[in-house]
Structure formats: C-alpha cells, structure tokens
Amino acid sequence: MAIVRPITTRSAVLTLTLGALALSGWGAFAYSGRSSAAMERERADQVSRLETERDQLLAERTRLQESVGEVQGRLAAAREDQSRSIRARDQARADLAAAQQQLATLTKRLDQAKERATQAGAVTPAPVRIAQRLKQQVAQAWSGLVPVPPARIPERAKERAH
C-alpha cells in the first residue's frame, strides 16, 4: 500500500510555480515558432519583390542601351549630313572665288580691249558679251549659295516623351 502524504503548501506552491513556468516556456516556444514562420514568409515575399524589381530594372537598362544606340546612330548620321553640307558649301565658295577671279581677269581684258578699240576707233562687241555672260554666271552663283544651318542634334528619348 502506498503511503499518501498530505500536500503541504510549500510543495503545492512549488508545483504550481513549476507548472506555470512550464506552461509559459511552452507558450513562449510556440509564440517564437509562429513569429519566425511569419518572419520567414515576410522575407520570402520581400525576396520575391526584389527579384521582380531587379528584372524590371534589367529590362529598363536594356531598353535604355538600345535607345542610346539609336541616338548615337542618328547623331552620327546628322554629323555626316553636316559634314557633307559643309563640303558642298566650301566647294560652292571655291567655285565662286574661281568665277570671280575669272571675271576680274576678263573685266581687265575687256577694259584693255575697250581702250584699244577707242584708240582704234571701233567697238568690239564680243568681249562685252563675254563679260556680261560672266557677270550673269557670278550673279547666279551668288544666288545659288544657301546658308548651311547648324546640325540638329536629336532629342533625348525622355524629352520627347514629355
């Protein structure tokens, strides 16, 4: 037979205290388990958002690189157009200078011919026609010169969007 001892207040308090401590320990353990699971879910969501954002940024970077390539191509074409225009302008100026030089020479020869003609007493119409024709050619060359505007640099893609 078992001997049953009466529970003393001291042992009852100790038992209740140990039981309360055990329950609070298990409660803290359960709470920490739920908290860490919630934190894991939150971190997984954050990682997912960051991966999505990274992919979007990579796509944007690729698009911007393509845009930069297009702008560089248009800029090179504009520079080439400007270079051709400048060469054409310089050639027109050279042609004009040569025509002016030729006109000056013929004008001088015309004046000499007129002087000889007045000394001889007759007017020679051929040098006059040549001089008039050259003056018309020079006037046409001057009217044909078109000022070359500065090259237009393409706008940025973002400025076009606004």
Q: Is residue 154 part of a domain?
A: no
Task: Calculate the average pLDDT of the chain.
Answer: 82
Q: Is residue 5 part of a domain?
A: no
- The Cα–Cα gap between 147 and 15 comes to 106
What would the pLDDT profile of 32-82 be if each residue is shown by its tens digit?
888 888 888 899 999 999 999 999 999 999 999 999 999 999 999 999 999
Q: Tell me what pLDDT residue 159 has.
A: 53
Q: Is residue 78 part of a domain?
A: yes
Q: Is residue 64 part of a domain?
A: yes
- The Cα–Cα gap between 34 and 69 comes to 53
Tokens of residue 147, six digits: 């000022």
Report CA-CA distances (Å) from 115 to 85, 108, 156.
44, 11, 67
Q: What is the mean pLDDT of residues 9-25?
A: 89
User: At residue 145, what are phi and psi to the nearest 5 degrees?
Assistant: -70, 130
Q: Is residue 40 part of a domain?
A: yes
Q: Is the Cα torsion angle 104, 105, 108, 109 positive or negative in sign?
A: negative
Q: Is residue 138 part of a domain?
A: yes
How many domains does the structure of the chain reveal? 1
Q: Is residue 4 part of a domain?
A: no
Q: Is residue 21 part of a domain?
A: yes
What would the pLDDT profile of 93-147 be if each residue is shown by its tens digit?
999 888 889 888 988 888 888 888 777 765 556 667 777 888 888 888 777 666 6
User: Structural domain of residue 27, as residue ranges?
Assistant: 10-147
